[in-house]
Structure 1
Amino acid sequence: MAQIVLFENIHPSAREVFTAAGLTDIATYSSALPSAEIFDALRGAELVGIRSRTHLDADLIGRLPALRAIGCFCIGTNQVDVNSAMLRGVPVFNAPFSNTRSVAELVLAEAILLLRRVPEKNNRVHLGHWDKSAAGAFEARGKTLGIVGYGNIGSQLSTLAEGLGMRVIYHDVEAKLPLGNARPAGSLQDLLAQSDVITLHVPGGKATENIINAQTLAATKRGAILINASRGTVVDIAALHAAVQSGQIGGAALDVFPTEPKSVDEPLDSPLRGLPNVILTPHIGGSTQESQENIGREVAEKLVRFFQTGTTKGAVNFPELPYQDAGGNRRLLHVHRNLPGALGSLDNLLAEHGLNIVSQRLQTQGEIGYVITDVDGEVSDIVMAALRAHPITVRCDLV
């Protein structure tokens, strides 16, 4: 079985990083595998790379004792049971910033297309009509862009939009320092009432589920444009369909959906299909050559650093320990239950086997602690067996 398994056509830059680090036992799959097949593909794997369609649940993770780390070659990690992974001593890494520019550019392009009614005009020309009317077509300059969620993508979009002469306001549940001339709106309702273009950049989850619904859509400026390139669960699709049909929303662009097709040949099931002023794209916000190459390198580098040094910097579910040069002959990576005296019992066990600790770093998070220990001397199989058999041990590896 392969040491590294990569699913869903991850960019070749990831393989380049692994190979350069001396990790050459790699199996690749062009797509996600059915649940009945994925276990066999992962049996014996130490590092796993996935994108958004491969789901790693608690049961599957629990049946993979060799698994040391998971790399999500994307932004989101909700396709992985990250808590179960943590309790098994398995850090999960992602690429939270690598596709920021790609998503921001797509959103801005869609805003311009919808303001100019390009989707409708394009369709009519294809049907043989030459309609040059300027009715309902507007410049982006001078329009108000309302950004819901002023994180990495939202703030990048903010600077791009200002370059076009747009006025930018934003709403975020956390206080954020504005870039350029952007200003925070007093509330979501205030943003909706002011904005000519509304764009959503919030995480998924219960807190944001259907935040754009019949009530919030009714609060928008009539004819406003709505763009969602964040999570499919953020928008009530039926309510949006009604708002577009009534003219309350003048146009919409969606790159994400509550339920997305699992294959190229499976059609999208949405009432928004066929509407002339709605742009529907197949979750391509980050699908540029530049972003996929960056994601491939970033996540692979995180996996390699963890595999070879134990650093968990950038892990989404794990105590973070930064990189540090090895201070001894061997390095132990020990994940344990976060209990009083845990570190002392580990150190005593090493002392009983004649191993001197050269350096040691500990960090805890919730139910687990993670300690990197550099020791003088060789760590025998007997020592490793004793460490792994200790009652507080979750996982122990040697690098």
Structure 2
Amino acid sequence: MAPRVLISDKLSATAVQIFKDHGVEVDYQPDLGKDKDKLAEIIGNYDGLAIRSTTKVTEKLLANAKNLKVIGRAGIGVDNVDVPAATARGVIVMNTPFGNSITTAEHAIALMFALARDIPEANASTHDGKWEKNRFMGVELTNKTLGVIGCGNIGSIVADRAVGLKMRVIAYDPFLSNERAVELGVEKVELDDLFRRADFITLHVPLIEKTRNIIDISAILKMKKGVRIINCARGGLIVEADLKAALDSGHVAGAALDVFETEPATAHPLFGHPKVVCTPHLGASTTEAQENVALQVAEQMSDYLMKGAVSNALNMPSITAEEAPRLTPFVKLAELLGSFAGQLTETGLKAIRIEYEGEVAGMNIRALSAAAITGVLKPLLQSVNMVSAPVMAKERGIAVAEVRNNASANFESLIRLTLTTDRQERSIAGTVFADGQPRIVEIKGIKMDAEFAPSMIYVTNEDKPGFIGKFASLLGDAGINIATFALGRLEQGADAICLVEVDGDVPAEVLDKVKAIPVVRQAKALKF
């Protein structure tokens, strides 16, 4: 029987035809996404669900989706999909991460022009029959400094267009290498330096814990008077009340917002403000972009339902059905090793080296490397997946090297991940034991034996008597229970590493006390 796909948001007729051409049965109900009860009533009849942003795929909806195998989002954002709930039910979530890039970048540039020349206000005034030529005194973009926060796929396109406009472009992105910055013609800077120097600031980062409220009153006060701010990325990056206060005071000369913390935004404190340009999340709204993502999602979903091929999945690696049983444990290991190293990386990342030793060297290392890169980038780029990770690394000028060695000295299979940053080189190695569980066997050349756990504390220290007692007492006094405790050292009295699994989260004040122990060099809370 042919697989059935429900399209609950508006997709083009061409996309519908692609499903049919692949032998997929299609039920096109473009307004169904607005009726969550009706959608929940019939979702159990379908193998696939194709959506845009209107349909909300919640845990409750998924509970009714007994036969659902894949969700395809025509676009990059999956804020309207409960990805963990879908993963728990074995439903693949796909998106189309690159179809909207040019369109969104062009919208940011358009809003920058609108701000610079007061175009919306001047347009309204002229339509009202006024001729207020002296009221609208704009500024040139030429020779102005544009600060780009996030220089990935979209940000780099904005930077390229701005360089063409003869602007000076400075960029903040921890994953942007010096070589890639030179290639783009931008200057790589720290965030505070960007705030201090930029005449215009444009945001192109995902909304994650590290970026939420990245522009608040403290950030605004670091900016030069007369700065103009553009946000075509995500609501929640800017504290809107702080922005309004800065606009009212005149410290910020103008703002252009395509996204808002709560959408749809039918009422907002900034609506009607003479210094603010607002658009209703139009970043991806061009004929070309809408058509591109619709066609891409139809192709991807059809390939999966008819052939088992997986692409652009946020919660599943690109692995064939034949490879899966053997490869999946090593995919998990590679991503965990990447996540471990990525969470410890705080400076510009220049290179990733992945070594495969023993039996794993003969496997499909493309999927393994993609998983490792995903783990490295995910702490900052939450929406990254195994398909987009290699592209995102390349965009940021991060060199990726893969090395195969069919022999392994101590294990049947070993994966070693080495990150090179502006300041140092860090490596971690792991294997998969007979029980299928990934384990850490080496950190920075120091032999270890530790499992990955949901909450861990990583400590580097001098191997001096008394450290373990002080550390354990500190955690005990804070009411933090130690589940496992792994230690390693180069030699007596030299560098040592402590890797501890704990129950629950580690408060920042506790971590500060650990760092204050005299022999401790670094302490970091890790989450897996």
Bin for the TM-score computed over the shorter chain:
0.7 to 0.9
Q: Structure 1 residues 332, 4: closer, same or farther in 2, change over 3 A?
A: farther
Pick from 191, 212, 232: which aligns with 2:194? 191
Distance 1:333 1:67, change over 3 A: farther
- SS of the equivalent of 2:230 reads strand
- Residue equivalent to 2:291: 293
Which of structures 1 and 2 has the larger relative contact order (alpha carbons within 8 angstroms, sep 6+)?
1
SS in 2 for 1:4: strand
Aligned to 1:240: 243
Which whole-Å deviations, capped at 9, do the CAs of 1:201-239 have from their partners, x for residues lacking one?
111122221111111112111111111111111111111
How far the C-alpha of 1:332 sits from its partner, in A, is 7.5
Structure 1 pair 334/5, CA: closer, same or farther in 2 (3 Å)? farther
In the alignment, which residue of structure 2 is the partner of 1:213? 216
Matches of residues 56-205 of structure 1 in structure 2 within 5 Å? 56-133=57-134, 136-176=137-177, 177-178=180-181, 179-185=183-189, 187-205=190-208
Q: Does 1:306 align with 2:304?
A: yes
Provide the rounded CA distance (Å) in 2 between the counterparts of 1:333 and 1:297.
Answer: 28
> How far, CA to CA, are the matches of 2:195 and 2:103 in structure 1?
25
8 Å CA contact retained: 1:72, 1:93: yes
Classify the secondary structure of the residue corresponding to 1:107. helix
Q: Please point out which of 274, 277, 284 is paired with 1:276.
A: 274
Separation in structure 2 between the aligned mates of residue 124 and residue 3 of structure 1, nearest angstrom: 53
The 5 Å alignment of 1:285-364 reads 285-321=283-319
How well do the aligned residues superpose, as a CA RMSD in angstroms?
A: 2.7
SS in 1 for 2:184: coil
Number of aligned residue pairs: give it.
334
One-letter identity of the residue aligned with 2:245: A
SS of equivalent to 1:162: helix
| Structure 2 CA distance for aligned equivalents of residues 153 and 236 of structure 1 | 22
Secondary structure of residue in 2 paired with 1:206: coil
Q: How much does 1:153 deviate?
A: 0.5
SS of residue in 2 equivalent to 1:314: coil
Report if the CA contact (8 A) 2:41-2:64 is conserved: no
The Cα shift of 1:256 comes to 0.8
**Deviation (angstroms), 1:321:** 1.7
Cα displacement (A) at 1:250: 0.9
Instruction: Give runs of aligned pairs for residues 39-58 of structure 1, distance below 5 A.
Output: 39-58=40-59
CA distance in 2, matches of 1:183, 1:41: 53
Answer whether contact 1:14 1:297 (CA < 8 A) is retained. Answer: yes
Task: Answer whether contact 2:172 2:191 (CA < 8 A) is retained.
Answer: yes
For residues 204 and 129 of structure 2, what CA distance do their matches in structure 1 show?
A: 37
Which residue type is aligned with residue 308 of structure 2?
Answer: G
Percent identity over the alignment is 34
Query: Structure 2: how far apart are the matches of 1:275 and 1:129?
Result: 19
CA contact (8 A) 2:228 2:255 kept: yes
Q: What letter matches 1:200 in structure 2?
A: L
Tell me, in whole angstroms, the C-alpha distance in 1 between the residues paired with 2:197 and 2:28.
Answer: 51
**Structure 2 unaligned runs (5+)?**
331-362, 373-435, 437-528
Give me the whole-angstrom Cα distance separating, in 2, the residues matched to 1:132 and 1:95. Answer: 45
SS of the residue corresponding to residue 162 of structure 2 reads: helix
SS of alignment partner, residue 252 of structure 1: strand
CA contact (8 A) 2:3 2:24 kept: no
Runs of 4+ in 1 over 3 A off after TM superposition: 331-340, 360-366
TM-score (norm 2): 0.59
Q: 1:37 to 1:207 in 2, by over 3 A?
A: farther
The Cα of 1:33 is off from its aligned counterpart by: 2.5
How far the C-alpha of 1:136 sits from its partner, in A, is: 4.2
Distance in 1 of aligned mates of 2:158 and 2:311: 27
Q: Deviations over 1:340-375 (max 9, x none)?
A: 9xxxxxxxxxxxxxxxxxxx9897989xxxxxxxxx
How far did 1:8 drift? 2.1
Helix, strand or coil: the match of 2:228? strand
Q: CA separation in 2, counterparts of 1:126 and 1:248?
A: 29
AA aligned opposite 2:309: T
Kept in 2, the 8 Å contact 1:119–1:276? The answer is no
Larger mean Cα displacement after TM superposition, 117-126 or 305-314: 117-126
Take 1:67 and 1:249, find their aligned partners in 2: how far apart are those partners?
Answer: 49
Q: CA, structure 1 residues 35+334, in 2 after alignment: closer, same or farther (shift >3 Å)?
A: farther
Unpaired runs of 5+ residues, structure 1, are: 262-266, 323-330, 341-359, 367-391, 393-399
User: Where does residue 20 of structure 2 map in the other structure?
Assistant: 19
In structure 1, which of residues 215, 230, 234 is the aligned counterpart of residue 233 of structure 2?
230
Change (3 A) 1:219 1:11: farther
CA separation in 2, counterparts of 1:60 and 1:41?
Answer: 10
